[in-house]
Amino acid sequence: DQQVKQNSPSLSVQEGRISILNCDYTNSMFDYFLWYKKYPAEGPTFLISISSIKDKNEDGRFTVFLNKSAKHLSLHIVPSQPGDSAVYFCAASAPNAGKSTFGDGTTLTVKP
Amino acid sequence: DVKVTQSSRYLVKRTGEKVFLECVQDMDHENMFWYRQDPGLGLRLIYFSYDVKMKEKGDIPEGYSVSREKKERFSLILESASTNQTSMYLCASSTAGTGDEKLFFGSGTQLSVL
């Protein structure tokens, strides 16, 4: 049973436009959500996170939205840049679990 | 900056060999993790550790073991490598008890088992 799902394996957008990456979860105990970015041949790096007590968190061009009732979160990148082309992983953790559960990732391609 | 160092970027081993993957972190993090990444399967947790000499099974521990003799070092051991263990292995660390589960990853080890 996959608890964190990223249903779109890939996404292609034009430079300057908005990129929206989606993530769904099934475990209602998850209370902290994170997005990581991964370039080829490198480890993932933390991008942005959100606690379940919030519905939005913004950091520069990156905004994460959380809809708890729908068990859905999304990452918005505005404006998208070619350097944003990478695999994006959604992750979630439950209180005191000490570990994160990851989705399968979405490969974002931003075309110049 | 936190640094997580994995000893090898690429490894090629034979079926049946015993394989050691080493990971060292320099930020005094309590928690350390081993994940594997496979196309279409995301990151799957193999083992993790909250403290020295402590270990917990992740989602896919079969065929693997771990060792944490020192706080900064977490080793993944493939007792008898098999071809289905060909994968990208990622080590990560994090602080404990902050409620912020942000992970810091190493660059990964691409293991090929022939």
Quick check: B100 and A49 CB within 8 A? yes
* pLDDT, averaged in runs of 10, over chain B (114 residues): 87 96 94 92 92 91 96 96 97 78 92 97
Quick check: B48 and A98 CB within 8 A? yes
**Residue B70: what pLDDT?**
95
Q: What is the rounded distance in angstroms from the CA atom of residue A32 to the CA atom of residue B83?
A: 35
pLDDT tens across A83-99, in order?
999 999 999 998 877 78
A98 reaches B (C-beta below 8 A): yes
A103 contacts on B by Cβ (under 8 Å): 42
**Residue A98: what pLDDT?**
75
pLDDT tens across A6-33, in order?
999 999 999 999 999 999 999 999 999 9
| pLDDT bracket for residue A57 (50, 70, 90) | very high
| B10–chain A nearest CA distance, Å | 10
**Residue B97: what pLDDT?**
64
**Residue A95: what pLDDT?**
81
Quick check: B90 and A102 CB within 8 A? no
pLDDT of A60 higher than 80: yes
Q: What is the 3-state secondary structure (H, E, C) of chain B?
A: CCCEEECCCEEEECCCCCEEEEEEECCCCCEEEEEEEECCCEEEEEEEECCCCCCEECCCCCCEEEEEEECCEEEEEECCCCHHHCEEEEEEEECCCCCCCCCEECCCEEEEEC
**Residue A16: what pLDDT?**
97
Quick check: B103 and A36 CB within 8 A? yes
